[in-house]
Amino acid sequence: MTDVALAERDGGTAWRRIADELADAIGRGEYKLGDTLPASVTLAERYGVHRHTVRQAFRHLADQGLVTVSRGRGTQVTAPRLPYPIGRRVSMRSNMGKLGITGTSRMLSAEVVVGEAAACTALKLKTGTPLWCVQGVSMADGVPMGTGMHWLSVERFPDFDRAYRDAAGSITAAFKIYGITDYVRLSTRLTARLADEREAELLEIAPEAAVMISTAVDALPDLTPIHLVSSVFAAERMEMVIEPFGD
Amino acid sequence: MTDVALAERDGGTAWRRIADELADAIGRGEYKLGDTLPASVTLAERYGVHRHTVRQAFRHLADQGLVTVSRGRGTQVTAPRLPYPIGRRVSMRSNMGKLGITGTSRMLSAEVVVGEAAACTALKLKTGTPLWCVQGVSMADGVPMGTGMHWLSVERFPDFDRAYRDAAGSITAAFKIYGITDYVRLSTRLTARLADEREAELLEIAPEAAVMISTAVDALPDLTPIHLVSSVFAAERMEMVIEPFGD
């Protein structure tokens, strides 16, 4: 064991023991879904440790998806995060179906805009090409999961606002209206930031909660890009799963 | 155009115009790396819009990686996020090398622990198997990008603390010491949350800034898992890139 290890050992062991005990208590049903765990100061006193050590235990439980830590509301026992597989095929709704969860979506707005450089480049169109900019929100069993801004060529997808609404907010179903029965996920870029007021309201999360930001391009099977979507997901409810060998 | 579109249209157009103008100003060098953009109230007055509209423009620029929005410090022009490809092969250092960035890491702590169920299951070991728990931090050109907690079998990797240190914090180089010259990324799970105090200090980000949480398993080419790593990345500096057709 190294010097560093010896120096960090006690703090290291303490948070892990607290996390294990809390995880066990959740497992036994002592704390149920929606329950708030004791405050960090209370637990720090009980275990005779610094409250930072208790908070580290909370973070560990949060990373395992057992609790959600938020300012003001404390540390609550939560449902496990919804796994969202990212591979060559991405259909949020069919994925939820496999888990016995009902996926729904609704359109928030639809407008035609002059395509800006970033969007047009991703879609391999000339800057300035008219694009649909359609916003929707997706729910899992009625709980908001994410909101997406979809960009598509107006020429390729005339009346897309109507198609998307007729398809009840399912991109896969909307594509079928245009005869597109198969499409693939070309690329996904993922990062995170804090939610703004509007996103927090829409996703029913605390203002300034963490959101995952995904920018993805879907393409026809011949890899022609047809759909750019920039999504904001409630990070406390979702995790992206990438399994390169699972295809 | 739908009713919803008409209702949302003006707000929609306004934030996009403001975002475009600010992006252009950044492109022209009017605002340079590290500069702070005017406050949302100032710009709201200048454009005759609600400050929420300006904030939406800021978020859009942030999602494009042009600025970082943080409470207290305002909206700063930032370097683009470092792309971190997630596929079958993952080596942070070789990826950075391709971008002309110097990747370095250092060990923060190393200890042997009794393997908890989650870690042992991921590594296909019996719960209670002795595991290395090694923490490191990774930098890109000296800027902290992420901190990782690595879990490995003590039996397979005796003296891993020394190997990891001798390998200057490179997992790839440490593996070579054990004769492992090739390994693959089996799975990656990604979510996000707010940074805790210690992580914020370590990563030199604002307390409560968004961090990306990655849990990944590496395996030998025969898919035997050998390494579990749970990482915390500064979301404002990194984006994960998944390109299933790029392998």
Q: Does A40 touch chain B (CB under 8 A)?
A: no
The mean pLDDT of chain B is 87
A179: closest CA of chain B, how far (Å): 22
Res. B111: pLDDT tops 80: yes
Contacts of A198 in chain B (CB under 8 A): 52, 56
Which residues of chain B have a CB within 8 Å of the CB of A13?
A: 113
Mean pLDDT of B151-170: 94
C-beta of residue B231 within 8 angstroms of C-beta of residue B247? no
Task: Answer yes or no: is pLDDT of B163 > 70.
Answer: yes
d(CA B56, CA B61): 9
pLDDT 10s digits, B174-209: 999 999 999 999 989 999 999 988 899 999 998 889
Per-residue model confidence as pLDDT tens digits over A158-209 = 999 999 999 988 899 999 999 999 999 998 999 999 998 889 999 999 888 9
Q: Where are the alpha helices (DSSP H) in chain A?
A: 3-27, 40-47, 51-63, 92-98, 117-122, 160-166, 171-177, 197-203
Beta bridge partners of A234: A211
Q: How far is B118 from chain A (nearest CA, A)?
A: 9
Nearest CA in chain A to B119: A64
Helix ranges (H only) for chain B are 3-27, 40-47, 51-63, 92-98, 117-122, 160-166, 171-177, 197-203
Distance, CA of A3 to chain centre: 40
pLDDT at res. A6: 33
* Domains in chain A, CATH or no CATH each: 3-77 (1.10.10.10), 82-241 (3.40.1410.10)
Contact residues, chain B, for A108 at CB < 8 Å? 4, 8
User: How does pLDDT run across B46-71, given as a tens digit for each residue?
Assistant: 999 999 899 889 988 888 778 887 76
Closest Cβ opposite residue B81 in set A56, A187, A191: A191
Predicted local confidence at residue B62, as pLDDT: 84
Question: How many Cβ atoms from other residues are within 10 Å of residue B189's Cβ?
Answer: 20
What pLDDT score does A90 carry? 66
Q: Which percentage of chain A shows pLDDT scores above 90?
A: 54
pLDDT digits 0-9 by tens, A61-74: 888 778 887 766 78
CB-based contact B242 A246, cutoff 8 Å: no
DSSP state of B66: S
Q: How far is CA B151 from the centre of its chain?
A: 19
Angle at B191 between CA B188 and CA B195, to 5 degrees: 125
SS3 of A178-235? CCCCCCEEEEEEEEEEECCHHHHHHHCCCCCCEEEEEEEEEECCCCCEEEEEEEEEEH
Lowest mean pLDDT among A40-44, B130-134, B225-229, B243-247: B243-247
Pairwise pLDDT comparison (A177 vs B20), residue with the higher score = A177
The verdict on a CB contact (< 8 Å) between A81 and B191 is: yes
Q: Is the pLDDT of residue A93 over 90?
A: no
Binned at pLDDT 50, 70 and 90, residue B12 comes out as: low
Which pLDDT does position A98 carry in this prediction? 82
Per-residue pLDDT band for B9 (boundaries 50, 70, 90) equals very low
